[in-house]
Amino acid sequence: MSDQRIAIYPGSFDPLTLGHDDIVRRSLRLVDRVLVAIAGTATQMKDSTFSVDERVQVTQEVYADEPRVEVVPFEGLLVDFARQRGARLIVRGLRAVSDFEYEFQMALMNRSLWPEIEVIFMAPASSYTFLSSSLVREVAHLGGDVSAFVPAPVLRELVRVYGPAASGA
Ligand code: PNS
C-alpha cells in the first residue's frame, strides 16, 4: 500500500452541490488524495434525479483539473470499498445538529464493521449550511434559480432536466 493518505468522501451526490465541493476542497488540505465515492444502485433513493453514471460523469467533470480527486461509483458496503482502495479515513460534512444523529450512527456502524477506519466530520463554509441536494432539486424542479448553489457542470445538467429557469434565465 502506498504512503499516501487517502480520504474517502461517500454520498449520493444527486447532484453534487457547492457544499459538497467545499468539503472536498477542505479535505484536500488534510490528505494527499480524496476519493469521491458515489453510492450505487443498491443505496440509490427511489426519487433520484440523476443515474449513478450521470452523477459520476458530471462530478468527474467538476474535478477534471484536480488530479488529487478521483470520482468513482461504489456498490455494497462502504467500508469494504474503502479497504479495497486503501482509504482509512471517511469524511462526512456536518451542516447542523440535525445531521449528527444519523452521521454518528453510521460512523459507529462503519467502525464496528472495520475497526481500522476513522471517520471525521467537517463543517462546510457557513454560507452552505442550509444547502442540500434535495433542496437544490426541489427548487430547480419548481422553476427556481439554483446557479449559486452548484458547480457549472452540475448546473448545465440541471438545466437539461428542469429547463433554463434553473440557471436564472
Ligand atoms: O449522501 P448520503 O445519501 O447521506 O450518503 C449516504 C451513504 C451513501 C454514505 C451511505 O448510505 C452508505 O455508506 N451507503 C453504502 C452502504 C453501507 O455501507 N451502508 C452501511 C452504512 S453504516
In whole angstroms, what is the distance from residue 89 CA to residue 75 CA?
A: 18
Q: What pLDDT shows up at residue 47?
A: 75
User: What's the predicted TM-score (pTM) here?
Assistant: 0.96
Per-residue pLDDT tens for 32-67?
Answer: 999 999 998 766 566 789 999 999 999 999 999 999
Rounded to whole angstroms, how far apart are CA atoms 19 and 21?
A: 5
- Which residue type sits at 52? V
**In the chain, which stretches have pLDDT less than 50?**
none
Q: Is 2 a catalytic residue?
A: no
Q: Is 133 a catalytic residue?
A: yes
In angstroms, rounded to a whole number, what is the distance separating the alpha carbons of residues 107 and 73? 20
pLDDT at 141: 96
C-alpha cell at 26: 477542505
Residue tagged active-site, from 26, 83, 85, 95: 95
Best probe residue, ligand 1, of 38, 79, 105, 106 (max atoms within 8 Å of C-beta) = 106
Output the pLDDT for position 2: 66
pLDDT of residue 96: 87
Structure confidence at residue 1 (pLDDT): 53
What local confidence, expressed as pLDDT, does residue 71 receive? 98
Atom of ligand 1 nearest to the CA of 12: 1
The domains of the chain, with CATH numbers, are 6-125 (3.40.50.620)
Atom of ligand 1 nearest to the CA of 37: 8
The per-residue pLDDT for 164 is: 96
Q: How far does the centroid of ligand 1 lie from the alpha carbon of residue 167, in Å?
A: 30
Residue whose Cα lies nearest atom 17 of ligand 1: it is 77
